[in-house]
Amino acid sequence: MRRLLPTLCLAALPLSAQNGDAASVPFGVGESMVYNVKYGPLTVGSGRMEVMGIDTVRGRPAWHLRLEVRAGIPGFRVVNVLESWLDVATLSSLRYRQETNNGGKEERRIAELYPERAVYQETDWRVPKGGGPLQEIRKPDAEMSAQPLDQASFLFFARTLPLEAGQTYSYSRFYKPPNNPVTLTVLRRESVNVPAGRFGTVVVRPVFKSNGIFGQGGKASVWFTDDDRRMMVKMETQVAFGSITLQLSEFQGGARP
């Protein structure tokens, strides 16, 4: 298998991005994809992938992106919400928020990312070992990767790639340097049926050296439409109670700037 090792420096970005204009992306404000969450033959929850709008983060316009999965079986429920604010010009993440709840174990995280200084600052909220309300843990500034991305923005960034079948794309852009590289392996082309219809797709396996729905233990696979929209129509991943599948049930396109 030939391995692609893209070098993504500022000079390699689209000219419009270098000039401060919006970089070309296949999504737009208002794009919304709703999913049924299946556990075997059972529907056990719902998911949503959205472009919430364009916000301003420290004076810079940024795509507000969100991926949410809520599912459960009797006696155990999981919630995973990922949000990212992606600079519209450089496609670098400026802020990241994560909320998880696994069987009542709640955790939250927000990270402020400063690409111009190559540092990030994280604040976690966790339940203390002895129990009680969430405790805030503010961490010191840490060194960050160039042109950073997080788990949520990586999924949207993947939609801008050619995604050629049989190729593996490797990027050292996850905001925490020890967790690099992130690899995106394009397994095959495949036609799939989901509640929203039948789609030609490319199947991608993203692997992150971190916890979460795209972590190494999760063995997630993502089905993107094999067209210029690259919509996610299906995803398989591991959660605390087993393997679940997200299937697109409805979608709405977004307006591009």
Q: Is residue 82 in some structural domain? A: yes
CB count within 10 Å of CB 203 equals 20
Residue 102 one-letter amino acid: N
Distance CA 107, CA 156 (A): 24
In terms of Cα–Cα distance, which of 230, 206, 202 is closest to 216? 206
Q: Is residue 110 in some structural domain? A: yes
Distance CA 53, CA 69 (A): 20
- Phi and psi for 24 in degrees, rounded to 5? -70, 125
3-class secondary structure, 11: helix
Q: What is the largest CA-CA distance in the chain?
A: 54
User: Tell me, what's the pLDDT at 210?
Assistant: 72
- For the stretch 60-80, pLDDT in tens is 999 999 999 999 999 999 999
Q: Is residue 16 in some structural domain? A: no
Q: Which domain holds residue 145?
A: 3-11+21-252
User: Tell me, what's the pLDDT at 5?
Assistant: 33
Distance CA 30, CA 118 (A): 31
- For the stretch 200-239, pLDDT in tens is 999 999 998 876 666 555 578 999 999 999 999 999 988 8
- Phi and psi for 29 in degrees, rounded to 5? -60, 130
User: Tell me, what's the pLDDT at 217?
Assistant: 55
User: Tell me, what's the pLDDT at 256?
Assistant: 64
Q: Is the dihedral of CA 57, 54, 122, 124 positive or negative?
A: positive
In terms of Cα–Cα distance, which of 234, 95, 73, 227 is closest to 152? 95
- The tokens for 163 are 């995604």
User: Tell me, what's the pLDDT at 76?
Assistant: 93
Task: Look at the pTM and tell me if it is higher than 0.85.
Answer: yes
Total of domains in the chain: 1
In terms of Cα–Cα distance, which of 206, 221, 183, 222 is closest to 3? 183
Q: Is residue 66 in some structural domain? A: yes
Distance CA 217, CA 242 (A): 12
Q: Is residue 160 in some structural domain? A: yes
- Pick out the chain residues at pLDDT < 70: 1-20, 211-218, 256-257
User: Tell me, what's the pLDDT at 213?
Assistant: 65
Q: Is residue 89 in some structural domain? A: yes
- The tokens for 100 are 């998880």
> Are residues 97 and 110 in contact, defined by beta-carbon separation less than 8 angstroms?
yes
Q: Is residue 257 in some structural domain? A: no
